[in-house]
Amino acid sequence: MEKALMDVHIVVTGASSGLGYAMSEALLSEGATVALASRPGPKLTEAIINLKDKGYSTVFELPLDVRSEGSVEDAVKWVKAEWGKIDVLVNNAGIGMRTVNPKFLTKPQPFFHVSPEEFRNLMDTNVTGYFLTSRGFTPLMAEQGRGKIINISMNYETMKRKGFVPYGPSRAATESLSYIMAEDMREYGVSVNMLLPGGATVTGMIPDEVKKELEGKSQLLKPEIMAKPIVFLASEQSEGITGERIVATEFESWLKERRK
């Protein structure tokens, strides 16, 4: 049986762990060529080694700091030189509330306790990072006359929840950015969609002690929940779909409704 993503070249940001790693593995399993883009270091190198040990020969290490224009430019140059094209960009790199308040789930703090530096740091990664990376790769997609951008988001609840500044506003901003990008890129043949898990997931964004408690109550989703929808969005099956917000836990029912 032919795999769905043969000769599809994909860059996944924030791919060294969590959702990014799980999505990368799902894409690789369907024959895609995938660049794991993340800040350089042992974590990224280990992720590459793990995937190669599993037999994935089309995985590449791409050092990238999404907050840096220069780093994004270097990544774009690498893609042009090594691949000559990009079919899909998955914007996933982000940091969570634990960088601002490690006890955000048990002891939420009001927004006025957040320092300007902490606010800017998170927004620079979660919002400006999506903008810079998309800004870097879309000219290549526009030149090709095709391409897909998938922006990873989170539940609406996180945008309104007590103690969730600045993470909540950052995800609200990335969703607005996504809708506008979708309209801007229609004429270039480039689709822009959003994908979110549909609940809290087992990733590094949740403190270990809270993770253990929630896992015991079966309240956490596994990152692999993103596998089927990310493969769908990266493949020819999603041609013509743009400006959509897809929830991974509801993907099967969403797809069934769409195919009626």
pLDDT tops 90 at residue 163: yes
220, pLDDT greater than 70: yes
Question: What string of DSSP letters covers the chain?
Answer: ---TTTT-EEEEETTTSHHHHHHHHHHHHTT-EEEEEE-SSHHHHHHHHHHHHTT--SEEEEE--TT-HHHHHHHHHHHHHHTS--SEEEE-----GGGT-TTTTTS---GGGS-HHHHHHHHIIIIIHHHHHHHHHHHHHHHHT-EEEEEE---GGGGT-TT-TTHHHHHHHHHHHHHHHHHHHGGGTEEEEEEE-SS-BSSTTS-HHHHHHHHHTT--B-GGGGHHHHHHHHSGGGTT--S-EEEGGGHHHHHHHHT-
Domain boundaries, the chain: 9-258
**Per-residue pLDDT reduced to its tens digit, 234-255:** 999 999 999 999 999 999 999 9
pLDDT of residue 213: 52
- The pLDDT value recorded for residue 215 is 52
For the question of whether the overall pTM of this predicted structure is more than 0.85, the answer is yes
Q: Are 195 and 230 in contact (CB under 8 A)?
A: yes
Tens digit of each residue's pLDDT (9 = 90 or more) over 3-24: 999 999 999 999 999 999 999 9
Does the domain formed by 9-258 have CATH 3.10.20.740? no
pLDDT, one tens digit per residue, over 96-126 is 999 999 988 889 999 999 999 999 999 999 9
Share of the chain above pLDDT 90, in %: 87
pLDDT score of 178 more than 90: yes
Q: Do the Cβ atoms of 100 and 27 come closer than 8 Å?
A: no
Active-site positions read 167
pLDDT top residue among 217 and 12: 12
Q: What is the mean pLDDT of the chain?
A: 93
The label of the residue with tokens 């998170």 reads: 122
Rounded to an integer, the average pLDDT of 139-167 is: 96
Q: Rounded to an integer, what is the distance from CA 202 to the centroid of its chain?
A: 15
Tokens 């280990």 belong to 46
